[in-house]
Amino acid sequence: MKRMMITGLAAALTLAASTAAFAQDKKTIAFVVNGPSDFWKIMEAAVARAQTELPDFDLQFRYPERADAAVQRRMMDDLVAAGIDAIAVSVVDPPTSTDAINTVAAEIPFFTFDSDATQSDRIAYIGSSNTQLGKMAGELMKTAMEGKDGKCMGFVGLPGADNAKERINGYNEAVAGTGLELIDVRGDDIDQTRARANVDDVLVANPEVNCMVGFYSYNPPRMYEALRDAGKLGEVTVVAFDEDPITLGAVAEGSFAGTVVQQPYEWGYQGAHLIADFLNGDKSKIPADGIMIIEGLTLTQDNVKQFEEDFKKKLSGG
């Protein structure tokens, strides 16, 4: 009996100590991306910078082992169980994830970035207008093709994600009636090997293709490698997305017509501050429509070098 009383007292003391420690803990915000891509390194750098300015918060940046809605949902559940205070997610498959998002959103503030889930109970989306980015890519292709007809092939990671669908729709809207036809879009589930194989297959099976669009950050580098190895760099007009170093180099040397870049650094930096303010009770910065748009940029040979210099400074913490 004495041993039981001592054990009970120890448990009570432990619980009291852990409760006190929890009360002193920093508020935790987790950013969950959509897959293991280098694209996210610049946003991760921005979150790290924001961390130095938000000492009362613990900012976490999480990568799933693969681009899979079930994996992402498991990560969200684990983070909630661990006691985080807010979460921001680039949603892998919004239509099938809405119920899971709403379950989490009933527990903690839920935000999205990059890929939205418009039908969910998320508080706000932070990122690009992917439709506008697609239109910018279409305008870039029209300029590069100089009025010529084109049989174009698209490459993307997650065809079902809102960001992919919106970019493709925006692109098609911009090139409508110009003789530039996006004949197909090949998905790869953010698998680098498949991304490269998709381009190789098109070069063999579709010799009529004379233009290509890489809709996700890692697609253009795999396109560059495939075209280089096939001896077709410069023969196929390429419009890219995002700022992978291989992509920027291809634009600088003239192998790609250009690239449309988002500003994931601002997603991370502004997003961290927005969510921290929200948790501190300041909701004034949340847009009335729940959409916080960070404008994209079009890069060509004329401005890519300056962008690349600024990009490297941000990655190094400058």
Residues 6+ apart with CB under 8 A from 195: 155, 157, 188, 218, 219, 222
For the stretch 183-216, pLDDT in tens is 999 999 999 999 999 999 999 999 999 999 999 9
Distance CA 123, CA 273 (A): 15
Q: Which two structure tokens, joined as six digits, stand for 109?
A: 């503030």
How does DSSP classify residue 318?
-
Q: For the chain, list the domains and their CATH numbers.
A: 23-127+264-286 (3.40.50.2300), 130-261 (3.40.50.2300)
Distance CA 178, CA 175 (A): 6
Q: Strand, helix or coil at 35? A: coil
134, 137, 142, 148: CA torsion to nearest 10: -90
Q: Strand, helix or coil at 85? A: coil
pTM over 0.75: yes
Q: Angle at Cα 267 formed by Cα 114 and Cα 70, nearest 5°?
A: 40
Residue labelled with tokens 């580098």: 221
Distance CA 122, CA 110 (A): 5
pLDDT band at 161, cuts 50/70/90? confident
For the stretch 217-248, pLDDT in tens is 999 999 999 999 999 999 999 999 999 999 99
